């Protein structure tokens, strides 16, 4: 189950509430997208739900429409950032071993350079 208290207490919860600054590139009623502080590609934007969902480890308890909406927001961001022609990648790290450091669901939208596979 989503834990609004826990996730709203993360740095991303603070960004949603406007308590700390972020370079927001897209927002709507359900999500916001802002530039990553430590970009791993020329375009590196994080798409997050406004409500607290700790990550895809809770996908079965999240609103499927919201999860789909986040994917569509990622497409909107990629298009807005001019990545349509070159291609782009969405990454969601789930849990510690995968590199998740912030327990508030976020989609990394990466592009602007060739992206290798497999990821590290």
- Point out which span in 1-9, 63-71, 72-80, 96-104 binds ligand AMP (CB under 6 A): 96-104
**Measured from the CB atom, is 16 or 51 closer to ligand AMP?**
16
Distance (Å, whole) CA 70 – CA 93 = 15
User: For ligand AMP, which residue of 42, 82, 99, 119 counts as binding (CB under 6 A)?
Assistant: 99
Let me know the angle formed at the C-alpha of 95 by 92 and 96, rounded to the nearest 5 degrees: 120
Closest CB 39 distance from ligand AMP, rounded Å: 8
Using CB under 6 A as the binding rule, whether residue 37 contacts ligand AMP is answered as: yes
CB neighbour class for 8 (10 Å; exposed up to 12, middle 13-18, buried from 19): middle
Let me know: does 41 contact 111? Beta carbons within 8 Å.
Answer: yes
Closest CB 64 distance from ligand AMP, rounded Å: 22
């Amino acid at each position: 189950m989503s834990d609004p208290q826990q996730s709203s207490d993360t740095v991303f919860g603070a960004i949603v509430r406007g308590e700390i600054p972020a370079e927001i590139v897209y927002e709507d009623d359900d999500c916001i997208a802002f530039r990553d502080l430590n970009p791993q590609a020329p375009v590196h934007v994080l798409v997050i739900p406004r409500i607290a969902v700790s990550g895809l480890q809770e996908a079965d308890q999240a609103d499927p429409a919201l999860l789909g909406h986040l994917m569509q927001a990622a497409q909107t961001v990629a298009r807005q950032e001019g990545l349509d022609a070159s291609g782009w990648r969405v990454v969601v790290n789930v849990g510690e071993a995968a590199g998740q450091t912030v327990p508030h669901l976020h989609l990394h939208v990466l592009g602007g350079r060739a992206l290798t596979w497999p990821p590290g």
